Structure formats: C-alpha cells, structure tokens
Amino acid sequence: MDFLNNLIYVIIGILFQLLVKVYSQIPTIKPNLRQDHTATLSDNGLYILGGSTPEGKIPNYPFLYLDVSIPFVTDQLKWHDLSNLVKNDIVPPHQYASAINGGADNKTLFLYGGMSLENNSMALVYTLNDLSWNIPNVNGTPPNVKLFITPVMDDNGLIYLFGGSSDSNDSTNTSDMFILNSINLSWKNGSSINAPSPRGEYGAVFLPANKNIIYMGGRSGNNKVFPLDVVYLYDTVNNIWTTRTTSGLIPSDRFAFSSILGLDEQRIIIFGGRNITNLHSEALYVLDLNNYNWYIPYFPEQSLNARASHKAVLIDKYMVITFGIGYNQGAENDILLLDISNNNEYVWTTSFNPIQPSIQVSNIVMVIGVVLGSVFGSALLLVGCYCLRNWYKNKKEQNDDITTPEEEYPQEILRIPDEKNTRYQNQQSILSSQILPISGSTSNSLQNNEMLQEVREDNEDIPTSGKNHPQEILLLQIPGENDIRHQSQQTTPTTQILTISGNTTK
C-alpha cells in the first residue's frame, strides 16, 4: 500500500508540474483602466468585454478572460486576451452594453445593446458560443433602448431588461420591461404598471426564493439620482410590481454601483456608486431581505477607494469587483475580493481560493478507485497464476509417482539374428548384442540372466536363410516375486507371451 500511495503521489506531482509548466507558458498581459464594461461568469471563466478608458478611448485589450477555477492573487492576475481568438469577430469596440448567460444550457453569452466607440452600427443582440460571435434572429418586437441596463435572468432562461436609455446622456430613459427568451429567441413585454420611474444605471438582483427581481437606485435623464429608501419588486411569475420601504442605515442616493445576492439568499450587498458630482466614500452596504433593513457590515479596516461604473459578480464565496473608475491602477488592483462567507464579518482579501466542485472530487475518487482496482486485480491475477502453476506441478508429480501396468511389466525385446544378420555381424569387429530384456523383480536378476543364456545357446543352432528370414523378436514376460503376488490378486494370472517372428516353417 505504501508503494501504491507513493506511485499516486508521483503521478499527481508529475501532472501538476506539467500543468504549471504549460500554464506558465501562456502569455499574460496588463490591461489598462476601463469603465462601463461587462463582466460575466461562464464555465469557470470571468469574461470582461468592452468598456472605455477614463478618457473615452478603446482599452488596449477589449476582450479579457480570467480563469477562476484555480487560485490567484489580485496583484498577479493572469489575464488573457481573447480579442484575436474569437471567430467571426463582428462585435465592434463598445461601452454601456449588457451581458449575461442564457440559452438552454445557460452557457451562451448574450450581449445586449451598447454604443460603438468607432461610430459603427451595432446589432441589438449578439451571442457567443465556443468563442464565435453570431447575430441571432429574435422574433417579436424589440426594445428601442439599449444603454445603461442591468440584465437579470430567472430560472427559466428569461432575460429581463428594464428601463435604460437610448443615448449616452440618459436623456431618454424609459420604464418599460422587455423580456428576452434566451431559449426560443423571442421578445415579449412585461407590465409597467406601478413600475419605477424611468431610469438607468440602477441595481438589480433576482431573488430565487420568491421569483422576484429587486430594483434600487439609479439615475434619470434629468440627472436626478434616486434614493434607496424605497425598493421595487417585480414578480416574474405574476407579472406585477410592488414597492417596499427600507429602514436602518439607508445608503445615500447613488447610481453606477454594483449589487449581488448574499450566499444565504437573505441579503443584498451593494458596493460603490456615485452621485452627480462625486464618488461615494461609504461604499459597502447590506440590505436584510427579512425586514428590509440597511446596515453597514463589519469588516477589518482596509484603505480602499470607492469605485463607480464597475461590475461585480458572485464567484464561490467572493464578491468579485472588476475595474471601474475612482482608483489608481498603480496603487490598487483591478480586481477587489470581498469574502462574504461569514455574515458577521466580511473580509477584504487579495487571495482567491475557489471551492472545488464536487464533480471534480468524484473524478479524483474515481481515478484513485480505477488505479487501486487495477493494482488489486493485477495482484489477484498474479496470485491465481502462481497457485495454478503450483497445482499443475503437484499434479504432475503425483502422476509420475503412479505405477502403470506398462511400467510394472515392461515389454522386453529379444533379437534373434537371421542368416543375413549373421553374415553382417561377422563383418563387424564386435558382434551385435542380442538383447533379452526381462521384466520382473530385480531380486530375480540372476534367474533372468540364466534364462537369457539358455536362449542364446538355443539360438546358435537356428539356421537362417538370409532375406527369407527377417530379424525375429522374442517378447518375454517373466514374473518375479512381485509379479506372482500381483497375479494372485487377479482372477486370471498374467499371461507370459513369447512372440517369435520369422519363417514359421523353421
């Protein structure tokens, strides 16, 4: 077993070294600042698409990928540029778009709206599968707004797009609810009765417990920033709007902030945001969904600048905050990590350690089981072969010890020379031996020799006639003491046979 464990460790070590070697050879890049981008988690990868620099320019790497299936630290991020790897690259550089997963398997990235940074026209909807962009044909009447929308998807593959603006100045906001079916690719309208006033750049989160979507904050076209003392709930099942008044430490009015659902699905966490003139310094708030009470969570002191126009996603136990404006890239990292696993104390950290999915643990167990099963099976095969060999060997030895009738009474040959043989023997310097093998007990060897001599003397007078008298064979079976005892046990004694070949007339 020690040998097996050592073998497994060696194999795992070799595979790990190969993985590290291959992964380390993948070139990493340093992206510059960006804002108003999209951030989407899909298949253990974080995709950052679009956005602009603070100066309104195209960022150096407009399509980024970060592997979140492995640990990383935020000051040594291994970004990868997908800009030159995508097929059918029909999406121009843009900002203010919305992106979310959808489709039958929830693995299709849907990109909605946006404004081109090169004054190119953009389709309303793009889809990305296997790093290939497409423009799907969506049935129904589409929205006429496409900027500053926070997309939300329910459990049925429906993408909800509320409000937004048709221009970058938020001057034409709406309060319409459009629903995109990401599975059968069709549009439909939701209710606008009792909906929030027209706005964009708000916070929105789907609540699985009651199938509602909560909306809060945002900005209108006349630069009005909405407070968070009232939140709006859209019932995705019954297609109705309701409102709830909040209490506690209510955050100041804001827009361009991020919001996620807590791990226990009982609280909403928001970060960052701004008003018309400034970014908010009080960046982190939590809304308890049981009583709609706002509070500031406890976390150890850490000097962090507030951000706005960023994006946040929930990955394992971390609220992952990406890019935005309001920080110095030389002094702070492009990604912030907030560990929210303990509701009593959130922790800002620079280390990301993903929770390994159970399927991977099962695969490891399965591999170990296959290895152990193979080794155990091989050992059983070797033991079986060894036992079979010993059984065959013992069986053979037992068979060799058994005396057969032929071995107990072997036939013995007496050669009687004919005339031709006599002449031929005379030509030889040594007379060919006449052999009289006699069976029986070795204790009667003297008697057997005397009988052999008598046969030889009698054969001297037998004439031969050359070719007409071939060599004659005398078969004798002469019993000894053992033979007599053996015969006494039989009903009929063993016959003594004298077979002489040759001319019968002689």
pLDDT score for 80: 95
Mean of pLDDT values over 148-161: 97
- Structure tokens of 237? 């099942």
| Helix, strand, or coil (residue 474) | strand
% of the chain surpassing 70 pLDDT: 64
Question: Does residue 132 carry a pLDDT above 90?
Answer: yes
Question: Does residue 365 carry a pLDDT above 80?
Answer: no
pLDDT score for 266: 97
User: Could you please report the per-residue DSSP string of 320-346?
Assistant: EEE--BSS-TTTS-SEEEEE-S-TT--
Q: What's the pLDDT band for 394 if we cut at 50, 70, 90?
A: confident
Interior CA angle at 85 toward 182 and 320, to 5°? 60
pLDDT score for 115: 96
Contacts of 338 (CB under 8 A, 6+ apart): 269, 271, 284, 299, 318, 319, 321, 346, 347, 348, 349
- Structure tokens of 415? 């050669």
Q: Which of 141-150, 219-228, 278-287, 394-403 has the lowest mean pLDDT?
A: 394-403
**How do residues 64-84 score in pLDDT, each as one tens digit?**
999 999 999 999 999 999 988
**How do residues 405-431 score in pLDDT, each as one tens digit?**
444 444 444 444 444 444 444 444 443
Interior CA angle at 163 toward 157 and 164, to 5°? 105
Q: What's the pLDDT band for 377 if we cut at 50, 70, 90?
A: low
% of the chain surpassing 90 pLDDT: 56
Q: Parallel, antiparallel, or unpaired for β 186-189 and 258-261?
A: unpaired
What CA–CA distance (Å, rounded) separates 74 from 87?
30
Query: Tokens 């069976």 map to which residue?
Result: 439
Q: Which residues in 384-405 are b (16+ Cβ under 10 Å) and which e?
A: eeeeeeeeeeeeeeeeeeeeee
pLDDT score for 300: 80
Contacts of 286 (CB under 8 A, 6+ apart): 262, 267, 268, 269, 270, 294, 295, 296, 297
pLDDT score for 330: 85
pLDDT score for 499: 42
- Structure tokens of 458? 């009698």
Long-range CB contacts for residues 228-233, cutoff 8 Å, separation at least 24: 228/253, 228/254, 228/294, 231/287, 231/292, 232/195, 232/196
Q: How many residues in the chain? A: 506
Residues 481 and 438: beta-carbon distance below 8 Å? no
Mean of pLDDT values over 73-97: 93
Question: Does residue 18 carry a pLDDT above 80?
Answer: no
pLDDT score for 207: 98
Mean of pLDDT values over 480-498: 43
* SS3 of the chain: helix, strand, coil, percent, to 5: 20, 30, 50
Side chain identity at residue 353, one-letter code: N
What CA–CA distance (Å, rounded) separates 480 from 201?
121
**Which residue, among 213, 205, 106, has the nearest Cα to 156 in the 3D structure?**
106
Mean per-residue pLDDT of the chain: 79
**How do residues 232-284 score in pLDDT, each as one tens digit?**
999 999 999 999 999 999 999 999 999 999 999 999 999 999 999 999 888 89
Q: What's the pLDDT band for 166 if we cut at 50, 70, 90?
A: confident
Q: Is the model more confident about 120 or about 468?
A: 120
**How do residues 293-338 score in pLDDT, each as one tens digit?**
999 999 887 667 889 999 999 999 999 999 999 999 988 999 999 9
Mean of pLDDT values over 127-153: 95
CA distances from 111 to 43, 267, 396, 486 (A): 17, 28, 80, 105
pLDDT score for 280: 87
Q: Is the model more confident about 395 or about 250?
A: 250
Sign of CA dihedral 474, 480, 482, 485: positive
Question: Does residue 438 carry a pLDDT above 80?
Answer: no
What CA–CA distance (Å, rounded) separates 176 from 256?
20
pLDDT score for 137: 97
pLDDT score for 295: 97
CB atoms within 10 A of CB 203: 25
Q: Which of 8-17, 35-44, 62-71, 244-253 has the lowest mean pLDDT?
A: 8-17
- Quote the strand ranges of 253-334, DSSP E: 258-261, 267-271, 284-288, 293-295, 311-315, 318-322
| Helix, strand, or coil (residue 415) | strand
Interior CA angle at 166 toward 144 and 182, to 5°? 45
Report how far apart the first and last C-alpha atoms of the chain are (Å, whole number): 84
